[in-house]
Amino acid sequence: KQEVTQIPAALSVPEGENLVLNCSFTDSAIYNLQWFRQDPGKGLTSLLLIQSSQREQTSGRLNASLDKSSGRSTLYIAASQPGDSATYLCAPWGNNNDMRFGAGTRLTVKP
């Protein structure tokens, strides 16, 4: 069964810093990997989707990389803003057609 670990569990930074959030997974046989954002009490919003054949994907200040062979993905946030404060979750999509989630990284960006 796929196990997903996200490090760090929580992160507090001043505005403007560049951030790196890490995700590792145990089963490298995945179709794709998705990064989500979750605000308190809300559903998940998709940020980036990296297909298994890709190595990275970019959207605005966000960049996600994927190394399938080592079971790792990284979400890079450039020039962080208070509005980036949320929980970030990664989820690899496995061969049994379901998606497993990490516990997330809770990010606080201070003005």
- Report in angstroms how near the CB of residue 79 gets to another protein at its nearest: 26
Q: How far apart are CA 33 and CA 37, in angstroms?
A: 14
Cis peptide before 82 (omega within 30 of 0): no
Inter-residue contact 91 to 33 (CB < 8 Å) = yes
- Near another protein by CB under 8 A: residue from 54, 62, 72, 101: 101
- Report in angstroms how near the CB of residue 43 gets to another protein at its nearest: 4
- Report in angstroms how near the CB of residue 10 gets to another protein at its nearest: 10
60 binds another protein (CB under 8 A): no
CA angle, 97 then 86 then 38, to 5°: 30
- Report in angstroms how near the CB of residue 44 gets to another protein at its nearest: 4
Decide the pairing of beta strands 56-59 and 62-67: antiparallel
Q: Which is nearer to another protein, 76 or 101 (CB)?
A: 101
Q: Where does this chain touch another protein (CB under 8 A) — which range of 17-25, 42-50, 62-70, 72-80?
A: 42-50
Q: Which of 27, 38, 62 is nearest to 48 (CA)?
A: 62
> Which spans of this chain sit near another protein (rule: CB under 8 A)?
1, 4, 31-32, 34, 36, 41-46, 49, 89, 91, 93, 97-104
